[in-house]
Amino acid sequence: MSAPRKPRDVFLALVNGLCDGHFDDVVKLYAERTDISHPFDPLHGERLTSRAQLTEHFSRRPVRKTLAARPSNIKVHETSDPEVIVAEFAYAGTNLETGAAFSYPCIFVMRVRDGEIVESRDYVDHLGSAEARGGLASLLNEIGKHRSKNE
């Protein structure tokens, strides 16, 4: 039996798999019970706590690929806990519909146990991501609705 993947290798498989659209493979990187959150999500989406929820989450992606993206400027920091890494990077590429180039920063704080992601805090520039997809106005509208509903 081979040794489980190291946290850095799991992270790299995750971000490359996301960019390549290999969502079935991406889901397999997570433990059956996991804890994924997006603390900077302006719509305050729910935590994802299982592979089933992750499968549902990734199934909501558009069928047609609108971005050609790659992770770039990757810096993986190991911590005193061998299960935990902090990964700084950007998603960079081109919007396939408009030809516009984009780059938006991210930081993932991940706990990988036995080669599977058991916890991750994904700090993503959601406005930059929406802008890359051509959906910034729509996101800002949703944020306004969300905030007025919660006042």
Does 1 map to a domain?
Answer: no
Please write the tens of the pLDDT for every residue from 76-122: 999 999 999 999 999 999 999 999 999 999 999 999 999 999 999 99
Model pLDDT, residue 124: 97
Does 2 map to a domain?
Answer: no
Burial of 74 (0-12, 13-18, 19+ CB in 10 A): middle
Range of the domain at 72: 7-149
CA–CA dist 102, 112 (Å, integer): 29
Model pLDDT, residue 58: 86
Q: How many domains are contained in the chain? A: 1
Please write the tens of the pLDDT for every residue from 30-64: 999 999 999 999 998 899 999 999 999 988 877 66
Whether residue 1 is predicted with pLDDT greater than 80 in this model: the reply is no
- Find the CATH number of the domain harbouring 88: 3.10.450.50
Does 31 map to a domain?
Answer: yes
CA–CA dist 103, 128 (Å, integer): 7
